[in-house]
Chains A and B, each alone.
Chain A
Amino acid sequence: MKIVTKAFLRYLFRRRSLSVLQLLGIACGVAAVIGMGLSARSALSSFNKAIEFLRGSSTHLIERPAGPIDEKMLAQLMQDPSVDFFAPVIDRRVRLTDGEAIHVLGIDPFLDRDIRPEISRAYFAEMGRSEREDHFSFFTDERSVLIDSNLAAQLKLGPGSRLETSQGVFTVINTFKNPSGEPLILMDIRNAQKMFDLKGSIDRVDLIVNDEAAFRSRWEKGFRIESKRQRQETLTALLYAFKLNLQALSLLALFVGTFLIYNTAMFAVVSRRRDAGVLRSLGARRIEIVAAFMTEIFFFGILGGALGAVFGYILSRFLTEIVGSAISTLYFFLKPSPQPWSLLTLAAGIAFGCIASLLGSVAPLIELILTEPVKAIRGRVAYRGGKRKAGKIALIGLGILCAAAIFLLFSFYHVYIGYAGTFVFLLGVSLFTGFTIMFVAPALKWVFSRIGGIQGKLAVANVRKNMGRTAVAIAAFMVALSMSIGLGSMIESFRHSLIWWMNSQLKGELYVSTKGDADVPEDFYEEVKRVPGIGGVDTYRNVQVTFRGAPVYITAINASILQRFTRFGWVSGGNENWEPVKQGSVIVSESFSRRFNIKKGDTVTVEGIEGAVQFPVTAIFYDYTTEHGLIMMDRSTYIRHFQDRTINSLGVFVDPRYPERDKVIAEVKKRAQDRNLPTATRSELHNTILSVFDNTFAVTRSMRVLAIIVAFFGIAGALMTLFVERRREFGIYRALGFSVRQIAGMTLFEGIGMGLVSFIMSIGVGTALALILIKVINLRSFNWTIFYHFTFDPYLLAGITAIAASIGASLYPIWKVYRTYPQIQIREE
């Protein structure tokens, strides 16, 4: 190694504590990205595996546009010359006692053999257990199921065990290996039909088709035919917005991380500046110095990146679970298994570390290159410019903010532009840090001198004087706090909008069954209607259909009931919007309207059982149930066009004039219980929805914490930098008679001062970020309007975090003060 390089690198060992802080800062930033990325990958890959496993070797599937198919079509399907193999499937879910919804597949093991050989092997293996009493229990015993070995291990079940579910108790007759992360229960098709009350119907048929075009031409009418690839795309599309958000969150953490690296690099430049000057006077070329400096940067990048990869890997194991549970509550059940450790992860970590290091060190590097050796040799170069410079940087910041505004304005092209705008915005405001310090310093000085006397006053002066160091750390911390406030406010606003929505739409006194549970038999609906005191019963049916090649949902409801008992959040108009719905028109959700640019008065074309049907859109309503878009129509309309009488759940409204409301509810409850149907009161349902909501944002919350941890290392690093840089100054303080305690106090005040400035800035920036998230990001990625709602909590949390983190970050420098201050002397060198 060149001696020049050696000269630089030895600093890292000499200033171990600082190096460790810097390293940890980078590592945490990288860990956030890697952890998030890995868990997103686990989710997606186990999702793909689950699809792959369930699809088996089928090339296509055929199903009704909505609802189940009459099984008689199988006899025609088997005669079709384009069909090599087919397997009917009943695809449902049951809930375990802990509330988890598990996929249940009702199959015919004989027909399934050519589609899903692995599964049928499990079944045949079971049959082959010659010591078993009854080889046909899978067929003959209605409660017999096979469960996958992962689920079996998780629930500690084996052959012969009983499995309690929302559909009653199952007998596990055997387990089978399932390579995907999705738990699976298998039962015979006959038993599945019986359990889900599907006499004569199946949900879909998986096919191996040898001539797609010919097959489509014969079967297109009244059916939906989806190739394996289409299916995969449809399902992946479901996760699109979710995935995007995960990525953006992790990038935000890296963004904060890059700030830290900038901080680190800047410090490296400063502390090497004199050495650089000396080297120049000895005849070293600029390029040699830059190379030495880059070696140091890359050293940090590589080591920090590698460390980050390891942290990230550990983090991912924890995040994967959260991501999985968020996906499960929002979309479909998934239990992603964490990605295995691979050298690729390490490489990715190192790459991220190096890229971030490079980005973070561009500015310091330029400064290093431009430094005149003469000035450098003189030793310390004070922060240049001060007030004027801060103003100048703020002006640049203003320019960047304008750019951000342009990005945000153009975000309708793609949500990526919105994300870019958000980052640019954060970059822009962080350039205001110096300006803000100048601005708030007098006030802060006044406050701190009241509290902390001379140390407090000096601390503020130090923060201000060393703006070159402190501004970056403050900016990084500010961004982290703003993220916390912004995400917090967004979540709170969202929650508030959701509550508003629930109170407008979900006004039933009692709900019988919910989506994902058992369907409600039609005769039960008739039965409930006849219970005395009932004002109305709304039937709810929700199916996924394809609209313009994208997955959307159709919800069939009872328009006249909803008109009487609810008050939807209409984008325009009022409950008179229901009138045309009763006549066969539809209303669409805001997300649908925005996503497909469908306005009131347009028509939507959906494939029905008799071919394409056009529905006029009479109104648009606010909805937060799905970002993919919702078409709502009256049940009669739905049955006419889709011939699907399934009811997923009932909303029961009691006649407002009826005296004994509680009695009515109790009666319906009792009858539902007799039918083994779950019920929920309005408040129970609302609570369930809110807990789903909160679960969904668990990922977001963990990223908030991570950003703050990253920023914490930033503050600690900045304080350490200040401490190291001002050893000589400390000598003067000591000569002036400052006690150790006073110096420690000063360090503490510096930390708190930085935290406070960060917090003050983050109040404004965080609010702006919340608005951007609500008005731009959410609107673009989920197509729904969240109404901004101010809550105090995120700010309070950020304030506490700021103070706590800055105190925490000061602890190590204070310890260093206590340890080294008594030996510090006034020395030039």
Chain B
Amino acid sequence: MRRPEEQKMKRMESRISRSVLPFVFGLYAERRTFSLRLRYTICEIRNTTLAKNLCHTLFLLLLAVLVCAGSVSSADWEQAIGERAWSFPRDHGSHPEHRTEWWYFTGNLADKSGNRYGYQLTFFRHGIERTPKDPGNPWSIRDIYLAHFTITDVSGRKFWFAERTSRAGPGLAFSDMKGLNVRLLNWSARMVRNVIHLSARHKETEINLELVPQKPPVLHGHKGLSKKGPGEGQSSYYYSFTDLATTGTIRTPLSKQPVHVTGKSWFDQEFGSNQLSSDQAGWDWFSLHLSDGRDLMLYFLRRKDGTVEQASSGTIIEKNGASRHIRLSDISVDILGQWKSPKSNGTYPSRWRIRVPSAKIDLTISPYVPDQELITEGSAGITYWEGAVGGRGTSAEREVTCEGYVELTGYAGNIGGIF
């Protein structure tokens, strides 16, 4: 009885493993059709039928293949199974025994004159060979590091993004195991005592920020084990700093000079080895800071058949740092508008009404700038939307405003023309 199941798993694994960053960028490959039911009322997402050969085109993308099939089996990597004994700051650092890991920073900032900005700085580590053949040579590849960096200028209605990829090499990229210290070329995130220093420059866009946690780390899911599917191992370890007081400078091609900014950031760290199932199409992920001090994280895994994965869930973090898991059944999201990308032709939802009755939350949010789409060529080779959002509504029956970030994947499959 085990054998067929093992085979099935293997098959699944190999299909799954085609996606680069399970969870983050998975699913694109096998996506064929989907239509969201859930309670996405207005939105009539058109059935995007991707021809099979397009799937191959998708695979031309660097990272879509980085998770190599065949020789390197995901069995080499430890799965996210069971409870984890968390220990900080050690667990801010790298977990090389897991295949995939990322450090995700997003934030909503404003300068003195009230101009609003958003930024995203994300580092990914993706394991290639757990034990490389020639460990003495720094160029031999154990992991590939990727990073995405975006700045949104809300007043200027501009959005810039950049990406970096590298192997560890002779000091080109690394992630420390002792604590948060990730670097990819001249982009880095480093925690010294209680302060996280972010620094990234790409041509004329640059950030230098200091982030100070206002609430303790929030463990999502079940004590940090976040289910992404029904199967065992289809999970990741996932925690966040949901409220990071942020100060620093930001520079854009519009500002030319560094601009002093303050605001709030959100940090997610997640690691695992293999979480996605092949019938998932993409996900919508929300991270919101409410003006009453509450923070809200929600994610929906969309299945190809149009349903939402039951493992989808959320977390609400109170002003005092107490957090509570929210089940899918507790959440209702209505899509109030959509935006069609002229570049990728993908149609994204772009206005939402989010209700969490159990927490008495009712928010209507929309992107600050419609086009915050990342069309990455080199590193992920995947097109997704991730941008600063804002809105208002009620929380515990009081009027609130909110700001945050939304990530939408699996809406734009057409990356033709990239290669």
A and B touch in the complex (CB under 8 A): yes
Q: Interface residues, chain A, CB within 8 Å of chain B?
A: 71-72, 74-75, 78-79, 81, 84, 108, 110-111, 113, 120-121, 124-125, 127-128, 130, 133-136, 139-140, 188-190, 193-194, 199-200, 210
Q: Interface residues, chain B, CB within 8 Å of chain A?
A: 18, 56, 59-62, 64-66, 68-72, 128-129, 133-134, 137-141, 144, 165-167, 169-172, 185-186, 201-203, 378, 419
A-B contact pairs, 21 of them (CB 8 A): A71-B169, A108-B167, A110-B144, A110-B378, A113-B165, A120-B378, A124-B62, A124-B419, A127-B62, A128-B62, A128-B64, A130-B59, A134-B68, A136-B68, A140-B141, A188-B139, A189-B139, A190-B137, A190-B140, A199-B137, A200-B170
Chain B residues within 8 Å of A74, by CB: 169-172
Least CB separation from B62: chain A residue: A124
Output the least CB separation between A31 and chain B (Å): 45
Chain B residues within 8 Å of A188, by CB: 139
B166 x A108 contact (CB < 8 A): yes
Chain A residues within 8 Å of B170, by CB: 71-72, 74-75, 200
Chain B residues within 8 Å of A120, by CB: 378
A124 x B70 contact (CB < 8 A): no
B172 x A75 contact (CB < 8 A): yes
Least CB separation from A113: chain B residue: B378
A71 x B138 contact (CB < 8 A): yes
Is the contact region of chain B dominated by helix, strand, or loop, or is it mixed? Answer: loop
- With A71-B138, A84-B203 known as contacts, the answer to whether A128 contacts B61 (CB < 8 A) is yes
Least CB separation from B167: chain A residue: A110
A120 to B377, CA, bound (A): 11
- With A133-B70, A140-B129, A199-B137 known as contacts, the answer to whether A128 contacts B59 (CB < 8 A) is yes
A130 x B378 contact (CB < 8 A): no
A23 to B337, CA, bound (A): 79
A128 x B65 contact (CB < 8 A): yes
B139 x A130 contact (CB < 8 A): no
Contact of B137 among A108, A110, A133, A194 (CB under 8 A): A194
Q: In the complex, given contacts A72-B170, A136-B68, what are 20 additional A-B residue pairs having Cβ atoms less than 8 angstroms apart?
A: A71-B138, A71-B170, A74-B169, A78-B185, A108-B139, A108-B166, A110-B166, A113-B165, A128-B59, A128-B419, A130-B65, A134-B70, A134-B71, A135-B69, A136-B141, A139-B140, A139-B141, A189-B139, A194-B134, A199-B137
Output the least CB separation between A423 and chain B (Å): 55
- With A75-B172, A127-B62, A210-B203 known as contacts, the answer to whether A190 contacts B134 (CB < 8 A) is yes
A81 to B206, CA, bound (A): 11
A124 x B133 contact (CB < 8 A): no
Least CB separation from A189: chain B residue: B139
B68 x A135 contact (CB < 8 A): yes
A81 to B186, CA, bound (A): 9
B140 x A72 contact (CB < 8 A): no
A78 to B62, CA, bound (A): 23
Chain A residues within 8 Å of B166, by CB: 108, 110-111
Least CB separation from B174: chain A residue: A75
Chain B residues within 8 Å of A193, by CB: 137, 139
Chain A residues within 8 Å of B59, by CB: 128, 130
A190 to B139, CA, bound (A): 5
Interface centre among B65, B139, B419, by most chain A C-beta atoms within 10 angstroms, is B139
Chain A residues within 8 Å of B133, by CB: 140
Chain A residues within 8 Å of B56, by CB: 130
B71 x A127 contact (CB < 8 A): no
Chain A residues within 8 Å of B202, by CB: 84
Output the least CB separation between A76 and chain B (Å): 9
Contact of B165 among A110, A139, A190 (CB under 8 A): A110
Output the least CB separation between A206 and chain B (Å): 15
Output the least CB separation between A111 and chain B (Å): 6
B169 x A130 contact (CB < 8 A): no
Chain A residues within 8 Å of B378, by CB: 110, 113, 120, 124
A491 to B69, CA, bound (A): 62
Nearest first, the 4 closest Cβ-Cβ pairs linking A and B are: A128-B60, A75-B171, A190-B139, A110-B165
Output the least CB separation between B325 and chain A (Å): 38
Least CB separation from B29: chain A residue: A130
A81 to B66, CA, bound (A): 30
- With A108-B139, A108-B167, A121-B419 known as contacts, the answer to whether A127 contacts B172 (CB < 8 A) is no
Chain B residues within 8 Å of A72, by CB: 170-171
Chain B residues within 8 Å of A79, by CB: 186
A210 to B378, CA, bound (A): 22
Least CB separation from B57: chain A residue: A128
A133 to B69, CA, bound (A): 7
Contact of B60 among A113, A124, A194, A200 (CB under 8 A): A124
B419 x A135 contact (CB < 8 A): no
